Amino acid sequence: MANVLCVLYDDPVDGYPPSYAREDIPRIERYHDGQSTPTPAAIGFRPGELLGSVSGELGLREFLEGRGHRLIVTSDKDGPDSVFERELPDAEVVISQPFWPAYLTAERIAKAPKLKLALTAGIGSDHVDLQAAIEHGVTVAEVTYSNSISVAEHVVMMILALVRNYIPSYKWVIDGGWNIADCVSRSYDLEGMQVGTVAAGRIGSAVLRRLKPFEVGLHYTDRHRLPAEVEQELGVTFHPDVQSLVEVCDVVTINAPLHPETENLFDAELLAKMNRGSYLINTARGKICDRDAVARACESGQLAGYAGDVWFPQPPPRDHPWRSMPHHGMTPHTSGTSLSAQARYVTAARTSLTVWGEGSPQAHRLRGEGL
């Protein structure tokens, strides 16, 4: 029997389950590049259900308890008296999502002698101290591609929301007003603007594909250049570094992972190189941007707007400046946890746990044996 400690975000304030807007969701069998979606023998939930909150339990309770394992689910993850801290010493598996990450620091890993697997139900494992995980023999795994398109759609939504000044215009309606001049005084067409992505992996390239019909100039920078035929298909211009990209773009979207080279990449110096009145979108990781530098750039007008759904830490404190700075379009970290995305990343997480538990050749590869 294994103790599986699962950290998820809180249930809806009006209770669980919520009232769903739709009866079902489209069935996705393959991703854009032809890769098939996970197809386990059973899933134990109805696609379209809220699975990422505490009561949703990632749809794993019946699956795990049926195999003799113990599942502990909590949203209480921070501080020495948290449920997570108390249960961690006996946990063999820790599961969390990037939207409500269970921060596995070196100190916490040292307190978890039984820990064997840290699984991210989603993309990105920067909430785990990877060096400490290596030193203690802990496998770190995540679910690639499962919600990449979900994030890409969120990026496009945020670009349009900022450029077209949607959020302030909506607020005029909510407040009972009808002042069109105030609504359009910061509203522009995206058409004809230059839009660039920092990184053009699965999310970044999906953003480029979705923006092409808007008749904008497309740009990207990445360690690995896209194939020539893809560049030609998208009509996208490659830049050797982020500095040369931001100097020509009206809109910049960050779609890079967090690592030492990208941490605080968008600092005061780089923001100053952007065209005055540019827009910055960040659905990657909060620490890629200097928190205070971004707030100052929005206040000064260097940035016409900043939008994203990633913060540090998560959840952010109430006095985090991104909550109150002008011309922002921030949301909680929701881009990759739509109900559609949950169905895919939960299915993939269940597949990973099955592989791990059965000790199959795939499990050995997951553990890093024989590589």
Q: Which residue, 132, 133, 135, 106, is CA-closest to 119?
A: 133
Task: Tell me which of 333, 342, 344, 350 is the catalytic residue.
Answer: 333
The amino acid occupying position 348 is A
Longest CA pairwise span in the chain (Å): 66
Contact 159, 171 (CB under 8 A): no
Contact 255, 155 (CB under 8 A): yes
Residue 333 falls in the annotated catalytic set: yes
- DSSP structure class, residue 238: E
Listed in sequence order, the residues at least 6 apart from 232 whose beta carbon sits closer than 8 Å to its beta carbon are none
Angle at 261 between CA 257 and CA 266, to 5 degrees: 80
**β partners of residue 194:** 217
Task: Tell me which of 3, 97, 147, 282 is the catalytic residue.
Answer: 147
Residue 232 falls in the annotated catalytic set: no
Contact 337, 147 (CB under 8 A): yes
Q: Which two tokens stand for residue 217?
A: 């100039």
Contact 205, 224 (CB under 8 A): no
Q: Which two tokens stand for residue 209?
A: 């594909």
Pairwise CA distance, residues 343 & 309, whole Å: 20
How much is the CA Rg of the chain, to the nearest whole Å?
Answer: 21
Pairwise CA distance, residues 108 & 125, whole Å: 15
Residue 243 falls in the annotated catalytic set: no
Task: Tell me which of 154, 202, 285, 327 is the catalytic residue.
Answer: 285
Q: How far is CA 41 from CA 44, 63, 297, 342, 347, in A?
A: 10, 11, 51, 18, 10
Listed in sequence order, the residues at least 6 apart from 181 whose beta carbon sits closer than 8 Å to its beta carbon are none
- DSSP structure class, residue 227: P
Active centre residues (catalytic)? 147, 285, 314, 333
